[in-house]
Amino acid sequence: MASTEEIRSGLADIVNEVAGIPADDVQLDKSFTDDLDVDSLSMVEVVVAAEEQFGVKIPDDEVKNLKTVGDAVAYIENAQSA
Amino acid sequence: MSSTRVVVTGLGATSPVGGDAPTTWSALLDGTSGARVLDDDWARDLPARIAAPVAVEPTEVLERVKARRLDRSGQFALVAALEAWADSGLADSGVDPERLGTAIASGIGGVTTLLSNYDKLRDKGPRLVSPLAIPMLMPNSPAANVGLALGAQAGIHTPVSACASGNEAIAQGIDMIRLGRADVVVVGGTEAAIHPLPMAAFANMQALSRRNDDPTKASRPWDVDRDGFLLGEGAAVLVIESAEHAKSRGARVYAEIAGAGITADSHDIAQPDPEGKGATRAMQMALAVSGLEPRDVVHINAHATSTPQGDVAECLAITHALRDEIDQVVTTSTKSMTGHLLGAAGALESMATVLALHHRVVPPTINVDNLDSAVKLDIATEQRSLPDGDIAALNNSFGFGGHNVAIAYRSA
């Protein structure tokens, strides 16, 4: 199971790969759409890559609730410990 | 339709012989082949393992995130279009977005995106199919992405007519300007089909050369030992605009794009009409709508793909279209160097035709070691110069389905 920082850092690399956002900008308080300019299609790519990397399932219905990087990290942490 | 004069003011390309238009043109004049053996594992079992890939990978030129959201054919088109746009000077002089259109064709569309996503679907399930797959693989994606990059709002078009698609896109651009729908249209073609499925399919049709041990000799239009075409990839884009618009901004004009002739064989889905009747009519129509006579034509960039039947049928068609004036016409096939770019062929060869008129020099056809006795044309087996004064040239493209598109160009 990964630490909060490990998940944030892994997610940052994915966002960088998918959307070209510098990984250092991907911090817990950042909104995917408002701060990081991740559009809805890119968000699907981020979610699928995160599922593979962290070994969790993130249902489509949940994606709309993941507004910030912190939301996504918390969801992945919970899913890993479930 | 009005007879508005239309001119070519910008050129761009990424091809098997160069990463941009000037490099491509210089390589064509030098008789450089872009062919090579495909050493990838996926090519090992193919009957034809040779092709002409682009000289410069588009990912070396485009921003990484932009590139990953485009099919390879879209990447090629964007590279070529950005070059053509910069070359036209329109970035500085500007154009009303509502008067700017695009017409960029592809013969096969985003086939590598389609098939790589099918691989993911089969191996890992539907969740792994990319949410970007549809906007990447749809055939209009290159034209639409170029339109987005340039802010074109007069209309985005993607004619599909197999290997005639590139020329049909150019014809559509002329129509847009002559119908008063646009002042400037970014036209061209793109293709990225060097993948085992299309290569196996073309080989199984007996369409591809199997000269696997000697790739640079594989594309040999009109030579007695030709055995099929060499698959190439890449894109070429021309910026065309009304002569009035070009003049008002003091644009450099490469050539006038005088008119297009479009016909259909209605003979067979894949074989050309053996007498080339539809091709003859296309050339005659291109001259007629352009106000040109056979005696004005000094050069033809032929479709000539290096297939046994097609090359000869086109020769007959050219002879019938130009009749008594045929002796003054220098004909070449730049496919001998680039291979066959399918839906991009007409665009790349139109660019070569425009530059031949502009610089008054014709690139050679390489590999004509023994000219087929059925060919009664003056083939440029080395670089040839064109006469001074007002001259005209034709570019032919034909496609599976019986499509014939000839475009007439006139010196500026």
pTM exceeds 0.90: yes
**B242 and B217 fall within a common domain:** yes
Q: What tokens were used for B120?
A: 């993911």
Q: Please identify every residue of A annotated as catalytic.
A: 39
One CATH from 1.10.460.10, 1.10.1200.10, 3.40.50.2300, 3.90.1150.10 for A4-81: 1.10.1200.10
Shared-domain flag, residues B241 and B346: no
What is the average pLDDT value for chain B, to the nearest integer?
Answer: 97
Q: Are residues B211 and B168 in the same domain?
A: yes
pLDDT tens for each residue of B357-369: 999 999 999 999 9
Residue B135 with chain A: CB contacts under 8 Å: 41
Residues B66 and B206 in one domain: yes
Nearest alpha carbon to residue B11 among B82, B117, B105: B82
Span B369-391, average pLDDT: 97
- Cβ neighbours of B130 in A, within 8 Å: 45
Write down the pLDDT at residue B3.
82
Average pLDDT for B117-136: 96
User: Distances from the Cα of B352 to the Cαs of B106, B115, B396, in angstroms?
Assistant: 19, 32, 12
pLDDT at B323 exceeding the cut of 70: yes
Q: Residue B387: what pLDDT?
A: 97
Which member of A19, A45, A51 has the closest CB to residue B131?
A45
Residues B342 and B312 placed together within one structural domain of the fold: yes
Find the CB nearest A48 among B64, B68, B128: B128
Residue B1 located in a structural domain:
no
A·B CB contacts under 8 A: 16
Name the minimum distance, in Å, from the CA of B109 to any CA of chain A. 21
Q: Which of residues 109-128 of B touch A (CB under 8 A)?
A: 127-128
DSSP code at position B272: P
d(CA B61, CA B78): 10
pLDDT score of A2: 82
Residues B146 and B267 in one domain: no
Q: Which residue of A has its CA nearest to B125?
A: A48
B41 and B110 inside one domain: yes
Q: Which domain holds residue B10?
A: 6-248
**Boundary of a domain, candidates B195, B216, B248:** B248
CB distance A20–B127 less than 8 Å? no
Together in a domain, B287 and B228: no
pLDDT for the residue B2: 64
- What does the alpha-carbon distance between residue A41 and residue B220 come to, in Å, rounded to a whole number? 46
**Whether residue B342 has pLDDT greater than 70:** yes
What CATH number did the domain enclosing B216 receive? 3.40.47.10
The pLDDT of A77-82, averaged and rounded, is: 91
Out of B64, B65, B127, whose CB is closest to A48?
B127
Domain count, chain B: 2
Can you tell me the distance from the alpha carbon of B328 to that of B322, in angstroms, rounded to the nearest whole number?
10
| CB within 8 Å of B92: residues ≥ 6 apart | none
Kindly state the tokens that stand for A41: 């299609």
Q: For A4-36, what is each residue's pLDDT tens digit?
A: 999 999 999 999 999 999 999 999 999 999 999
Report the percent of chain A where pLDDT is more than 70: 99
- pLDDT band at residue B1, thresholds of 50, 70 and 90? low
Picking from B387, B397, B353, B345, the residue whose alpha carbon sits closest to that of residue B8 is B353
ipTM reported for the complex, 2 dp? 0.89
- The token pair that represents B57 in the structure block: 């990978």
B267 has catalytic annotation: no
- State both tokens at B245: 């618009």
Domain membership flag for residue B387: yes
Residue B393 belongs to some domain of the structure: yes
> Per-residue pLDDT tens for A50-69?
999 999 999 999 999 999 99
B294 and B159 within one domain: no
Measured in angstroms, the CA of A38 and the nearest CA of chain B are apart by 12
